Structure 1
């Protein structure tokens, strides 16, 4: 299962990407998370339905200091996961 997420709210500058990375890595998901220029966070995650369900609960809850107003979820084709490696934060230095 592969899903794309756009998370809206106070999710930049509060450690939200690191939170998503930790949750996804602990679950063994593949994919990435990054900030958008619009002030949101987006992510792509690939794994089993159970792993994805657990991640989605975490995304709605958010990290300490964040405020999640909305999570947009889009299913992607399984083929989108072919090039995904271990979960990473894109754009982090």
Structure 2
């Protein structure tokens, strides 16, 4: 496919490449602190080979970033919407952010 003939499509396909990692930031609201949500999140991220972090926020939410393949990030966000058994998730916000080179592991 020629970059000159289809520049927008070429750029879009590059963005969607399964080999190119994507990164999201996320915020989970509801009853998500004191219910092992961070451990749950880290476990799910590690099982999906994602890198990043999760932490408690001062407003009672849980926030973080995750980097990996598009399909694994989609699965990860599904897990965030469910949460661990003791949690009650009312809202999950996510947005695409710039990837970070050399990131390894998932911290909590």
| Structure 1 unaligned residues grouped into runs of 5+ | none
TM-score normalised by the chain length of structure 1? 0.90
In the aligned structure 2, how far is the partner of 1:18 from the partner of 1:37?
Answer: 18
Larger of the two Rg values belongs to structure: 2
The equivalent of 2:81 in structure 1 is 60
In the alignment of these two chains, the number of paired residues is 87
Alignment of structure 1 residues 22-61 onto 2, 5 Å:
22-61=43-82
- Find the aligned partners of 2:75 and 2:98 in 1 and give their Cα distance: 20
- Alpha-carbon separation, structure 2, partners of 1:3 and 1:82: 14
Post-superposition offset of 1:83: 4.9
Quick one: distance in 1 between partners of 2:64 and 2:102? 15
Show structure 2 runs of 5+ residues with no match.
Answer: 1-21
TM-score between the two structures when normalised by the length of structure 2 = 0.78
Runs of 4+ in 1 over 3 A off after TM superposition: none
Residue aligning to 2:104: 85
Greater relative contact order (Cα < 8 A, sep 6+): 1
Q: Give, in whole Å, the separation in 1 of the partners of 2:102 and 2:95.
A: 18
